Amino acid sequence: MLSPESLRRIDREIAKYPAEHKQSAVMAALIVAQDEKGWLATETMDFVAQYLGMAPVAVYEVASFYNMYNLEPAGQYKLTVCTCLPCGLQGSLDAADHLKARLGVDFGETTADGRFTLKEGECMGACAMAPVVLVNNKKMHDYMSNAKLDALLDELRKR
């Protein structure tokens, strides 16, 4: 179900918590699983539930509560743009508009070529560096002018 490398990473997370509280590692385990699979399919959640000795629906609760998990397949690159007030004041909504126009998709949609999913994010704790774009949850790009956004899209397309 998950690769040995993923399981090793999950085991490392489990080791952080008291032995009787393996469930504490569920968030990390789902992150690892999502890194490998791209999204959290039913079977993936079921596997994580078994691995951690949890009820599957309890895993589902966690996966659906935290909004960085993908409960359906996403594009190769998920771009998340913060639309909160401070970022908005600093141009992140313009940046979002620019991305929408460039990609031809709205928030929550994926480009036809399956390369990009555009997502509306909430505060990323990087307000002063707005506009901020998060790529696949893990890589943050800040001070994103339209020119920098174009460069980012070009770079990701080339990869």
Smaller CB separation from other proteins, 57 or 147? 57
Instruction: Tell me if 94 contacts other proteins by CB under 8 A.
Output: yes
Closest CA to 150 of 94, 106, 98: 98
Instruction: Report 34-93 residues binding other proteins (CB under 8 A).
Output: 42, 45-46, 52, 54-58, 60-62, 64-69, 80-81, 83-91, 93
The single residue among 8, 11, 73, 123 that binds other proteins, judged by CB under 8 A, is: 123
Distance separating alpha carbons of residues 33 and 39, to the nearest angstrom? 8
The single residue among 7, 107, 141, 146 that binds other proteins, judged by CB under 8 A, is: 107
Distance separating alpha carbons of residues 99 and 158, to the nearest angstrom? 17
Which residues, in sequence order, are CB contacts of 119 under 8 Å at separation 6+?
78, 79, 80, 81, 107, 108
How many helices (H) and strands (E) would you count in the chain?
Answer: 7, 5
Q: Which residues contact other proteins by CB under 8 A? A: 16-18, 21-28, 30-31, 42, 45-46, 52, 54-58, 60-62, 64-69, 80-81, 83-91, 93-94, 96-97, 100, 106-108, 120-130, 134, 137-140
